[in-house]
Every structure is written in structure tokens, then in C-alpha cells.
Amino acid sequence: MRNFKFTMGLTAEKTRAIYAGQARFILVETDQGLKLQLPAATFLEYVNADGIHVRFDVKIDANNKILALRRI
């Protein structure tokens, strides 16, 4: 299991692509400089009127599946 932290800042306009189904994945850069491609639908619950502006902690298993994503 691996654990990564990252900050996401997406505008409301960019988050519309998630709802429209145009964005299937979101590429994020972790604090360690690693780039992760995560399913866009994972972030739907964190969208508000301003978009997504949240710091996250994600746990990923050996098969690169998300075990947990939490707001920190």
C-alpha cells in the first residue's frame, strides 16, 4: 500500500467536464512529485460552486487501485 498527499485546485468550469462525462480521469501531482491519474468520478462529492479546492490523502494498493481518498 502506498500513501500520497496532493492539493487539487479546479475551477467550476473545469469540473463541469467531470459532470458532462468529458473527463474520465484527472492527473494530479503528489507532494513527492509523482503524477497520478485518478478516476474523475472519485472527486464528484468534493465539487462545490467554486469547483474543487481541497487537500487530499490517497491510499493506493499494489495494483494501483484506490483504497481510500480523504480530505485533509
Q: Where are the domains of the chain?
A: 2-71
Cα 71 to its chain centre, rounded Å, is 10
pLDDT digits (tens, 9 = 90+) for 40-67: 989 989 988 999 999 999 999 999 899 9
Helix (H) or strand (E) run with residue 16 in it: helix 12-19
- For the chain, first and last CA: distance in Å? 19
Specify the pLDDT at position 20. Answer: 81
* Average pLDDT of the segment spanning 4-33: 91
Q: What does the alpha-carbon distance between residue 18 and residue 30 come to, in Å, rounded to a whole number?
A: 21
Q: How many CB atoms lie within 10 A of CB 56?
A: 20
Question: In whole angstroms, what is the distance from residue 30 CA to residue 19 CA?
Answer: 24
